[in-house]
Amino acid sequence: MALEDIKEKIVSQAKQIWDKIQDHPLYINMRDRFENLSPVMQKAVIAATALTLSLIILSFPYGSLVSSSDYADTFEDTRALTRELLKAARESSNIPMITPPPTTDTLQAAIQSQLQQANLLPEQIASITPFEPVSDLIPKQLLSYGLEVSLSKLNLTQVTELGYQLSIQGTDRGMTIKLTDLEIKPNGSDSKYMDVIYRLVGLKVEEFKPIFNAEPKKETGKTRRVNRKQAPEKTEGQDE
């Protein structure tokens, strides 16, 4: 009964609105112009009006379709980006740790032993001294210390072999020792030999800490019990 009353009320209100529209001067003017048109023009106006109304009605579902397509594309892009971030996080957590450079004394002792194994005479080892490292290739904040190895009366074979042995110090010690400079000049007493200065620097290494844990947390029994307690209880209406 109440539904019929609402229906009658809506119909009566619609009639009142339509009567007001028919009494409006603009509607009367447009109706007179329409009646003065030829039958062909009247049909054209009706067709144009119907087409306009159809486009307006169809624009709503079409807009929703376009929006849903945009949302789907955004979701796919976000999912792909999330997968790439998780992959990068897993790869970063598997990066081998770089060992810090040895101390100056340790490196100096290792180089001294290496020079002795190269069968150099004591007078050929001029000095092995620390220095303040400066490099055009490596930022200053990454330099820890420098070590200068001065040798004298070396032949070309010794220069190249010792240079190679000193250059791979970083490979043997976690890539934290670099041969950055080399000076060669003829020996003052015998020009057949050369005096050489090798300069090595130790790099500062900071401990790598992953930004976040790529592995999802495992849900323990205690966590599951807490989640069950926090889950909303069903109401009587929902149970029914």
CB 206 within 8 A of CB 98: no
Within a domain: residue 113?
A: yes
At 19 the three-state DSSP class reads helix
Within a domain: residue 148?
A: yes
At 204 the three-state DSSP class reads coil
Q: Across residues 172-178, what is the average pLDDT?
A: 68
Within a domain: residue 118?
A: yes
Q: What is the pLDDT of residue 19?
A: 80
**Residue (of 133, 167, 158, 138) closest to 148 by Cα position:** 133
What does the alpha-carbon distance between residue 191 and residue 168 come to, in Å, rounded to a whole number?
Answer: 29
- Does residue 214 carry a pLDDT above 60? no
- Does residue 55 carry a pLDDT above 60? yes
Within a domain: residue 110?
A: yes
Q: Across residues 63-89, what is the average pLDDT?
A: 87
Q: What is the pLDDT of residue 145?
A: 86
pTM: 0.48
Mean pLDDT over all residues of the chain?
A: 79
Q: What is the pLDDT of residue 65?
A: 80
pLDDT bin (cut points 50, 70, 90) of residue 239 is very low
Q: Which regions of the chain does DSSP assign to beta strands (E)?
A: 125-131, 143-154, 177-186, 194-203
- Does residue 1 carry a pLDDT above 70? no
What does the alpha-carbon distance between residue 11 and residue 5 come to, in Å, rounded to a whole number?
Answer: 10
What does the alpha-carbon distance between residue 148 and residue 126 come to, in Å, rounded to a whole number?
Answer: 10
CATH code where residue 159 lies: 3.30.70
**Residue (of 97, 79, 82, 80) closest to 214 by Cα position:** 82
Domain encompassing residue 140? 104-203
Within a domain: residue 54?
A: no
CB 131 within 8 A of CB 199: yes
What does the alpha-carbon distance between residue 112 and residue 205 come to, in Å, rounded to a whole number?
Answer: 24
Q: What is the pLDDT of residue 235?
A: 44
Neighbouring-strand partners of residue 143:
203
Within a domain: residue 192?
A: yes
pLDDT bin (cut points 50, 70, 90) of residue 152 is very high
CB 203 within 8 A of CB 178: yes
- Does residue 133 carry a pLDDT above 80? yes
Q: How many domains does one find in the chain?
A: 1
Within a domain: residue 189?
A: yes
DSSP string, 140-178: GGGEEEEEEEEEEEE-HHHHHHHHHHHHTHHHHTTT-EE
Q: What is the pLDDT of residue 226?
A: 47
CB 200 within 8 A of CB 182: no
Share of the chain above pLDDT 90, in %: 12
Q: What is the pLDDT of residue 222?
A: 52
Q: What is the pLDDT of residue 221?
A: 54
Q: What is the pLDDT of residue 41?
A: 83
CB 182 within 8 A of CB 191: no
End-to-end alpha carbon distance in the chain? 28
User: Could you tell me the two tokens for 45?
Assistant: 């106006």
**Residue (of 200, 134, 136, 202) closest to 167 by Cα position:** 200
Q: What is the pLDDT of residue 236?
A: 45
| 210 or 49, higher pLDDT | 49
